[in-house]
Structure formats: C-alpha cells, structure tokens
C-alpha cells in the first residue's frame, strides 16, 4: 500500500501505543493531540505546507477552499483503508466526527457515507447515523410526551378513569342494595318459622345486621329446624347481641 493509504492507520497505531486521548468530543482536551496529528498529516499528504506548531484548527482556518477539499480527500482516502480492527473504537469515531458533515466542516459537497461505502469506517458511519437518528426520534417522542397537550390529555384520561371507577362502585352498591331489599321483602312476607329456616340455610345472602328487629325470628324454634340447622344458625349468630342473643339461647336449649 502507498503512504496515502496507510498514514491514518499508522496514526491510529501510534495513538494507541502512546495512550493519546482519542475520546470523541472529549470535554477535557478535545482529543487535540490526536486530532492535530492526523489533520497535520492529512495536510502534508495533500501537498500543503504546514508548520509543526500549527494545530488542526489553525491549519483549517489558514487554508483555501481547494486546499481544504484536498485535505478532506486525503483523510477520506486514508479512512477507506482503515482495518476492521478499528471498527467501533473511540479513535475512529473521533475521525468520522471530524469528517462529517463534509460541506459544513470542509466546504466540500460530498456524501461521506457514499465515499466510505463498503469499508469498515463506512459501516461505523452508518451505525453512528442510526444512533443519531434514534436519539433524535427519542427526543421527539419525549418532547411529545411532555407537551402541554399530552400532559392535559393524560390528566383528562385519569380523571375519566376515576369517574368510571366511582360510577361502577355506585352501580355495584345499588345492585347490592336492591338485592338486599328484595331479600328483606321476601323475609317480611314469611312466617316466623319460614324465616328461621331461611336464615339457617342462606347465610351468604347478607349480614344479619341488615335485618330489622321486627323480622328477627321470635317464636318457638323447636318445630322449625333440625339439629344440624340449629347448629348452623347458632354459628351464624355468633356473639351478636339482643334479639339475636335471645334467639341463640333458645336454639342452644333445643340442641
């Protein structure tokens, strides 16, 4: 390979060997030594005279448009020959950041992705672009999520859910009340003995507390319930007081 093809690869090796900072957009040093070095070398390969003390920025600022284009071409030509072992390294990413976008940074009308197509550096560029696009999409999604309209929309949604919940609870309660009332009506239409039997066998219908005093069985229990039903009703009454307690006593005597 010619020097035009190998110098950038050699610069990468040198940076690695000497532990130069190659971090993309390094906030401490801007990976300046690394970048100054390859920019200076690119200028020389492009046939541009540069002094050793000139850093990358000074070189770029002092160049004509043609010279910049020459430097860009020298860098791209060498980047095309970078080996795949440098793929997804900070060093290569830093170089690609310096090249892209060609027009804004170098005044060169070119599509970097086309120029590097099919090379390890080109593959990295594609994945960097994808990353950038998904970052932009993510930012857009976040902005949409946090927009006043979306916030208001979510608040209305929550409000509506709460209202629906309350309405459902009220409806449940109404149904429960209705079925209790129906049971009370049934109970009221019964004789004392029938009531006793119903209570002893339909415990799950509703709590005994719902039954008004006048519907608590008050008569003789001995002919209405068998022993098992007696036990059952005693258990249901439990430790309830007053009329229920009296009923329990009568049942206990009978048992």
Binding of Zn ion by 26 (CB under 5 A): yes
39: nearest Cα among 118, 95, 82, 92 = 95
Under a CB-based contact definition with an 8 Å cutoff, are residues 133 and 139 in contact? no
The yes or no reply on residue 174 touching Zn ion (CB under 5 A) is no
Among 6, 21, 215, 246, binds Zn ion (CB under 5 A): 21
Query: C-alpha angle 126/128/131, rounded to 5°?
Result: 110
Residue 28 interacting with Zn ion (CB under 5 A): yes
Taking the complex as a whole, how short is the minimal distance between the CB of residue 19 and Zn ion, in angstroms? 11
Q: How far is the CB of 133 from Zn ion (least distance, A)?
A: 27
Between 29 and 174, name the residue whose CB sits nearer to Zn ion.
29
Cβ pair 79, 100 in contact under 8 A = no
Q: Is 215 in the site for Zn ion (CB under 5 A)?
A: no
37: contact with Zn ion by CB under 5 A: no
Least separation in angstroms between CB 90 and Zn ion = 10
Least distance between Zn ion and beta carbon 29 (Å): 3
Residue 29 is a binding residue for Zn ion (CB under 5 A): yes
Query: Residue 212 class from Cβ within 10 Å (0-12 exposed, 13-18 middle, 19+ buried)?
Result: exposed
d(CA 65, CA 110): 14
Which parts of this chain interact with Zn ion (CB under 5 A)?
21, 26, 28-29
């Amino acid at each position: 390979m010619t020097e035009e093809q190998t110098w950038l690869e050699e610069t990468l090796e040198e940076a690695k060997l000497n532990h130069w900072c190659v971090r993309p957009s390094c906030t401490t040093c801007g990976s300046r030594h690394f970048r100054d070095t390859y920019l200076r070398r690119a200028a020389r390969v492009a046939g541009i005279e540069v002094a050793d003390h000139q850093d990358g920025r000074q070189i770029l600022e002092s160049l004509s448009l043609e010279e910049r284009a020459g430097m860009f071409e020298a860098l791209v030509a060498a980047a095309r020959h970078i080996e795949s072992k440098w793929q997804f390294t900070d060093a290569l990413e830093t170089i690609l950041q310096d090249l892209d976008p060609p027009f804004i940074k170098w005044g060169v009308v070119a599509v970097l992705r086309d120029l590097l197509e099919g090379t390890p550096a080109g593959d990295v560029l594609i994945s960097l672009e994808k990353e950038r696009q998904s970052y932009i999409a993510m930012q857009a999604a976040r902005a949409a999520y946090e927009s006043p309209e979306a916030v208001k929309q979510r608040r209305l949604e929550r409000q509506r859910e709460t209202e629906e919940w309350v309405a459902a609870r009220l409806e449940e309660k109404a149904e429960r009340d209705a079925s209790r009332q129906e049971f009370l009506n049934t109970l009221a239409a019964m004789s004392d003995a029938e009531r006793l039997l119903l209570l002893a066998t339909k415990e799950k219908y509703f709590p005994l507390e719902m039954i008004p005093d006048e519907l608590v069985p008050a008569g003789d229990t001995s002919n209405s319930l068998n022993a098992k039903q007696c036990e059952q009703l005693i258990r249901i009454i439990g430790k309830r007081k007053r009329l229920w307690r009296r009923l329990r006593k009568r049942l206990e005597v009978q048992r």
